[in-house]
Chain A
Amino acid sequence: MYDGWKIILGLVVFVVIVTLPFTMSVGKTYVEPKPSIDTPEIQKMEKKQCIEPKQYMREMHIKLLYSWKDYATREGKRLYVASDGKTYTISLQNTCLKCHSNKEKFCDECHNYVNVKPYCWDCHIEPKVGGLK
């Protein structure tokens, strides 16, 4: 094999780079994200449920927010009727965050875990701890 060492070196470098995401987390303890729903507003609720079922919100919340944004800004439709028939005002800042007033312990918990950095808070004002300021 001509230049065999070059090929092998290349392969080694390749394998190291490809496995980097795994090797880098070796030794780090796995902390499961635990978003907290312990806020005054949620405590007041009899049945602690978001506007839609938990699983749906987990998977779809960003898509839901995007649709909300389009309906509100483009079509002036500002009321959302959930699948259970309840009506909510379309607003991240005034509806979602009214209950989830603990952004750090709720939103950030998972976002940090999966290392996504949504830029919602560049404009939307996050509540002060313990309710909207």
Chain B
Amino acid sequence: MITRRDFLKIAAFSSLLGLGGAFTINALEKEPGQKVLKDIKALKGKRWAMVIDTRKFKTQEDFEKVIRACHKAHNVPEIANPLHEVKWIWTDDYEHSFAGTAEEYISTEVKERKFLLLCNHCDNAPCVRVCPVKATFKRPDGITMQDMHRCIGCKFCMAGCPYGARNYNFLPPRDYIKELNPEYPTRTIGVVEKCTFCNERIDRGLLPYCVEASEGKIIFGDLYDPNSEIRKVLSENIVIRRKVELGTQPMVFYII
């Protein structure tokens, strides 16, 4: 017979070894031979970044084409009420896009330009730091990702993000999607969503939708690769970023 004292001893030791609480959800440890792999076609990068050539965006259609490509593919709902709207990529004017650093005496032409805005995939992302359930996290390649299954809708990340890149689903999103893309999920009411740098495409070796649709007006690449196109573009142009003074290290650059 096992005494109470022995039982407690065993329990204490096994919890020390982490046996008692050992719980794994990983089903792939059960069968031999099962593996998960990265696609060999996947784009490889250490720090994905984006340069938007704002000089090349001229007509309304230039912007719309890019926004439509993203929103259609990702089943982003179209909600007119600005209190409830959801957007992954959108536009604003010079003064609001670069609040705090906008030069007052810059040319009128620049002042009147519109700027494409999206999640900056900040290297030092405040949204990641404040998420209490680690639903929002950084991938090793720098993408600020969000696990929708895990989001509890607390909205801390929305408060943490200084760029307004995050939107809460106040309304059931499916009611506001005209045409569903059957290959991508929607979101549900009560979660936060934003641009994902199209990681699902990068993992398959494709460039983000917006980059593709921009026809050369947006450059995407690995900031840590000195031979990449994005580094070449950055070395040849003067760029600005949004709210650098906050120390978030945004990864979206704007050629003025």
Binding site for B on A (CB under 8 A): 52, 56, 60, 63-64, 66-85, 87, 90, 93-94, 119, 122-125, 127, 132-133
Instruction: Using A67-B28, A73-B145, A80-B34 as known contacts, list a sample of 13 further A-B pairs with CB atoms less than 8 Å apart, ordered by residue number in A.
Output: A52-B34, A56-B30, A67-B26, A76-B139, A76-B199, A78-B39, A78-B204, A79-B39, A80-B36, A83-B31, A84-B33, A125-B182, A133-B180
Given A60-B27, A67-B25, A85-B33, does the pair A76, B186 have CB atoms closer than 8 Å? no
When chains A and B are docked, how far (Å) is the Cα of A20 from the Cα of B58? 70
* In the complex, B61 has a CB within 8 A of chain A: no
Complex contacts, A56 vs chain B, CB 8 Å: 30-31
Is the Cβ of A81 less than 8 Å from the Cβ of B185? no
Is the Cβ of A78 less than 8 Å from the Cβ of B203? yes
Is the Cβ of A73 less than 8 Å from the Cβ of B182? no
Could you say which of B27, B33, B185 contacts A63, with CB atoms under 8 Å apart?
B27
When chains A and B are docked, how far (Å) is the Cα of A89 from the Cα of B112? 46
Could you say which of A63, A79, A119, A133 contacts B36, with CB atoms under 8 Å apart?
A79
Is the Cβ of B182 less than 8 Å from the Cβ of A83? no
B157-200, CB < 8 A from A:
180, 182-188, 199-200
Binding site for A on B (CB under 8 A): 25-28, 30-39, 42, 137, 139, 141, 145, 147-149, 180, 182-188, 199-200, 202-204
Is the Cβ of B188 less than 8 Å from the Cβ of A74? no
Is the Cβ of B183 less than 8 Å from the Cβ of A93? yes
Complex contacts, B187 vs chain A, CB 8 Å: 123
- The closest CB in chain B to the CB of A71 belongs to B36
When chains A and B are docked, how far (Å) is the Cα of A123 from the Cα of B147? 12
When chains A and B are docked, how far (Å) is the Cα of A71 from the Cα of B33? 16
Complex contacts, A122 vs chain B, CB 8 Å: 188
When chains A and B are docked, how far (Å) is the Cα of A80 from the Cα of B216? 34
Is the Cβ of B38 less than 8 Å from the Cβ of A93? no
